[in-house]
Amino acid sequence: MRISFANDYSEGCLPEILENLGKTNFEQTGGYGLDSYSKSAIRKIEQLLGAEPEQVDIHFTVGGTQANLIVISHVLKPYAGVLSAPGGHIASHESAAIEATGHKVIVLEADPYSGKLDATTLAAFLQEYWADSEPEHSPFPGMIYFSNATEYGTHYSAQELSAIRDIADEYDLPIFMDGARLGTALVAEPDKLNIKQLLDLVDVFTIGGTKNGALSGEAIVFTNRKQNYADRFRWTLKQRGGMLAKGRLLGIQFNTLFTDDLYFRAARHANRMADLLRTGLKQRNVRFWTETKTNQLFILINPKLKQMLLQEFVFLDWLIPNQQQLIELGLEESDQSYHVVRLVTSWATQEEWIEQFLNRWDDFANL
Ligand SMILES: Cc1ncc(COP(=O)(O)O)c(C=O)c1O
């Protein structure tokens, strides 16, 4: 079997989760997220945030795309759209799930290397939108969306988030942070955020379980910072198919993830494995599309070497850089061609896999 660096959801789940699902299997509980495990998981997340129960609203659902479309369609007025970077998951990888709810994803420019939305671009767009004498002829910008960690493996500093927050406040816009990979962003060095800071920085965010050792599941946290965007959220959750009859399955998983620091231990492991791989690749003078500190690495690789490694490992093609990009990456003088591929580590990655990958890299590169 080939070793996979394709993504962080290739395996089942953390053994602690499986064990707790087994232990509680014959217990009878309430349904639809009103069981004691879901309530306990909610309390643990509140404690982690240092928030009082009446301050925040927390819900669970199965997947990331589902969480995004349910949150966005709940918060937006019927005529509003959501602002996103081009690589934002809702703009690039969700099969128009947001548009299917009747809301346009308004795509703003972003740095092609980091994939991050930045405050300057956001401000320029909003200024121009509101300078128009007939702004109502295009969708009302009603929400700011970005992922942290991003789809490019980068993560936001508190400073970058504060700058986006300032613009959002100026235009009275809610911020939704997609945290499908929040764990790896919160333990990434440097610029590590404390989860408590999110109470001030965003209006709603998700805590991804699926990519951090859960069988599946995302927690949705409304911070109710200035406004209660969560009002009647359970109706939208149900209407859009996100409310599980066996909500306990999500409750047990999140209750386990937030016991004994498991969520952060899993994320630290994923990042440590990525660090080992990054260091090994840098020692081999490999170029990176962008500098990341989380569990996703994007590297430039010669197509012949890529094909050889693909015989023994799984990883995904990302893009083929154009001439301009090669120049920007300092490779204009090279007579080689390059592809960019993505390597992802996870809570389940083994150190030996990294060694094997680097050893085979050496074997093939020297052929
Ligand atoms: C940032 C981000 N958001 C949302 C999703 C969607 O999650 P799911 O595949 O569970 O629908 C992904 C999945 O890759 C993601 O990377």
Same domain? For 101 and 204 the reply is yes
DSSP letter at 194? P
Q: Measured between alpha carbons, how far apart are the two ends of the chain, in Å?
A: 23
Angle, CA of 196, 271 and 43, to the nearest 5°: 30
Report the pocket of ligand 1 as residue ranges, CB < 6 Å: 63-65, 68, 89, 147, 151, 178, 180, 210
Asked if 225 and 206 sit in the same domain, the reply is yes
Assess contact for 335 and 200: CB atoms under 8 A: no
What are the DSSP calls for 266-319, one per residue? HHHHHHHHHHHHHHHHHHTT--BSS---SSEEEEEE-HHHHHHHHTTEE-EEEE
Same domain, 287 and 338: yes
- C-alpha pair distances (Å), 225 with each of 9, 11, 55, 81, 289: 32, 36, 8, 21, 36
Q: Are 242 and 69 in contact (CB under 8 A)?
A: no
Which of 262, 281, 296 corresponds to the end of one domain? 262
**Dihedral sign for Cα atoms in the order 168, 169, 174, 178:** positive
In angstroms, the CA 118 to CA 89 distance is 16
* HSE (side-chain half, CA atoms, 13 Å) at 316: 10
pLDDT of 16 reads 98
d(CA 13, CA 215): 5
186-206 pLDDT, tens digit each: 999 887 899 999 999 999 999
Whether residues 228 and 309 fall in one domain:
no
Residues 252, 315: one domain? Answer: no
- My answer on whether 324 and 246 are in the same domain is no
Regarding whether 171 and 93 lie in a shared domain, the answer is yes
pLDDT at residue 345, rounded to an integer: 98
Whether 341 and 226 map to the same domain: the answer is: no
The whole-number pLDDT of residue 18 equals 98
d(CA 160, CA 163): 5
Q: Which residue's C-alpha comes closest to atom 6 of ligand 1?
A: 64
Given 203, 235, 262, which residue is the final one in a domain?
A: 262
State which residues form the domain around 277.
3-7+266-365
Do 56 and 186 reside in the same domain of the chain? yes
The alpha carbon of 27 and the centre of ligand 1 are apart by a number of angstroms equal to 31
Select from 98, 178, 206, 295 the residue to mutate for testing ligand 1; criterion: most ligand atoms less than 8 Å from CB.
178
DSSP code at position 191: S
- The closest alpha carbon to 238, from 74, 36, 57, belongs to 74
Do 79 and 207 lie in one domain? The reply is yes
How many domains does the structure of the chain reveal?
2
Shortest-distance Cα residue to atom 7 of ligand 1 = 64
| 77/17 Cα distance (integer angstroms) | 38
334 and 202 belong to one structural domain? no
CA-based nearest residue to 59, from 216, 178, 220, 203: 220
Q: What is the CATH number of the domain that holds 309?
A: 3.90.1150.10
The pLDDT assigned to 366 comes to: 84
Q: Supply the CATH number for residue 64's domain.
A: 3.40.640.10
Tens of pLDDT, residue by residue, the chain (367 residues): 999 999 999 999 999 999 999 999 999 999 999 999 999 999 999 999 999 999 999 999 999 999 999 999 999 999 999 999 999 999 999 999 999 999 999 999 999 999 999 999 999 999 999 999 999 999 999 999 999 999 999 999 999 999 999 999 999 999 999 999 999 999 998 878 999 999 999 999 999 999 999 999 999 999 999 999 999 999 999 999 999 999 999 999 999 999 999 999 999 999 999 999 999 999 999 999 999 999 999 999 999 999 999 999 999 999 999 989 999 998 876 667 899 999 999 999 999 999 999 999 999 998 8
β pairing state of 140-147 and 3-4: unpaired
Last residue within a domain, chosen from 241, 262, 283: 262
Q: Whole-angstrom Cα distance, residue 83 to residue 97?
A: 15
What number does the ligand 1 atom closest to the CA of 150 have? 1
Query: Do 246 and 186 share a structural domain?
Result: yes
- The CA 304 to ligand 1 mean position distance, Å, reads 30
Measured by CA distance, the residue closest to atom 15 of ligand 1 is 180
pLDDT of residue 191: 78
